[in-house]
Structure 1
Amino acid sequence: MTHPTELPPKSELGVVGWARKNLFSTWYNALLTLVVSYLVISSAIPLFKWLFLEATFTGETASDCSGEGACWLFISQRLNFFIYGFYPDTLQWRIDIMFGLLALAFVPQFIERFPGRKWFGLFGVTGLPIIGYILIPGGWFGLEEVPSNKWGGLMLTLILAYVGILAALPIGTVLALGRRSEMPIIRGICVVFIEVWRAVPLITVLFMASVMLPLFLPEGVSFEKLMRALIGITLWQSAYMAEVVRGGLQAIPRGQYEAASALGLGYWRKMGLIVLPQALTLVIPGIVNTFISLFKDTTLVLIIGLFDILGAVQSTVTDPAWQNVAIEGYVFVAFCFWIFCFGMSRYSQNLERKLDTGHRT
């Protein structure tokens, strides 16, 4: 005699079931849950009061921040400088256009059913850099030229990270292929390049790019400080990217290489059509982790006189007109970095799920 299937008891379903299984499964788990909950609540309430309830949001000067909470008035008053640096006010529409195009290119990538999102992503890595090269510095099509020493704030941080990411991935991929090459000279050059650049701290690379690089250039050839920093960041990051990609290449079974060769594919077609797509899929977490690390490391350009968003905040908190607002400035910087880093992390997780082949060991 068969009995109808019965549903589990309500105490095993929903939030109650999850809590019993994960938070109160044993007496020591229950105790730990209560202790951690007390610590979180006891610290979250004062923090919430400081951030919002007792904070000052409106006013004109620092004297209007008379409460016990955060002085967000400081952020609102200096927000223009934190975003654009010294970029002329009358020309900031160029940066606004670039921000809009950047959002147009990458926000649709988070929406699975967004029509034409692949084309938007392709535009983000092809057309967007060209438009930025024309709009931001100017000097083209009658646009007023703006020297790079006036660039700063969030726009400079995004430029450094975007160019570094866009250039480091293909260069790193070529270096990884070269390190696994069967030609001794190519393999040796790639090994030396990767090991040398990975052995040098980024802060040293920036100093070398800013001070030493001009000494090795031919007479009459020079690069702006920003360009030298971009070259140093790209080469340094390419070495790390090469090792990430090499890990993916080594994870591909030898049979894949042999099958591609059996089909009569040449080296570049074998790598481009068979091996690299699989290798890059395997190392998506490592690639994104490298991108996030690069995004955060852009703050080091402050030491060579480039004012990214952190440098802009640091230069502002020393203003006598705004005293005791350093915490608010650093919280604002941390929030900006968290937004972009969290976005990259979430997109990588979505990409992993989409490209997952279902193989588990």
Structure 2
Amino acid sequence: MHRTIFDKDHESLRSAVRTFTERSLAPRHEQMLKDKAIPRDIWLEAGELGILGLSVPEQYGGSGAGDFRFNQVADEELAGFSLGVGANFALHTDTVPPYLVDLGTEEQKHRWLPGIAAGELITAIAMTEPSGGSDLAALKTTAVRDGDHWLINGSKTFITNGHQGDLVVVATRTGPGEGAKGITLFVVEAGTPGFERGRKLDKVGQDEADTAELFFTDVRVTDANRLGEVGRGFASMMRLLPQERLSTAVTNVGHAARILSETIEYTKERRAFGQAIGSFQHNKFRIAELVTRLEVTQSYVDQCVLAHTRGELTAVDAAKAKWWSAETQNAVLDECVQLHGGYGYMNEYRVARAWRDARVTKIWAGSNEIMKEVIGRDLGL
């Protein structure tokens, strides 16, 4: 599909990111899968290339692009290489920096953003709790005033970049009984007494993605680490979640598009009954359906990206992009496995790993059921 939303600068970044994946990521990918983490020197190299500072203004060490299409290009290329790698970088690049840029004081921005853009400080955001799932307003991790400090107690789970994160944006309850109005955000730094990481979680897919449990026991921080106003954390999360969901949609489509392209080439080369399997009418029709569905989805996501660059993307449209792209991604990859036959079930084939990696996209960044609830409420239902 010919896409018209990018210019030569976007495509220049795409070329640089693809070279990065081929030169630096591919040779070490198997080790990343074993270690369940992306090495620190890879983060630093990504920082040198400017990949990590796309949401960071220039005065704080970022690229100052202010154009989410650059984020989109980087996300597509990284997810096309591996969804686990792409998701970890996207969380650091697309999701966390806007909290600091939008809510941080000048001192906080100068303290943290240059390191984030350089890859020296790996970031995470801790919302989800063991008993809470998608119900962010019901979180139980508390932050209680103690003189000039706050004491944070609680736990979080399924935290991307959790095990090696240097800065963690933590959603806490500062107003007991106040529901969504009693939530405040804090930045907890690695090494703070009482802040501990649990095991790296053993997931179905995305083995190279660092995902962990986090524990907070009388973690003492001051207002210098409070992000935004007391009691305004939930409102801030709701305002900034659309970019996270858009980022998720971009990675979903970029991931599925690369694997589908590779599958089409496979069906041209793999022969059965004396002919290429892609030439059988059933397979030909199925591939035509997959290509069409994915391109239609890509068109919608592209329009959402353009709306976001104009400051016009709504939470409802972001929810549509998130859930539909996840459904499309999983449907496409399931068919790609089928087209590979028995080889599609072998971990040595990219399609098998991609199929496993994709399943969580219907759950994270707000489950697809929550996305439909958001859309339904907007319709007055």
The TM-score with structure 2 as length reference comes to 0.28
- Scaled by the length of structure 1, the TM-score of the pair is 0.29
Q: Which has the larger radius of gyration?
A: 1
Q: Which has more strand, going by share of residues?
A: 2
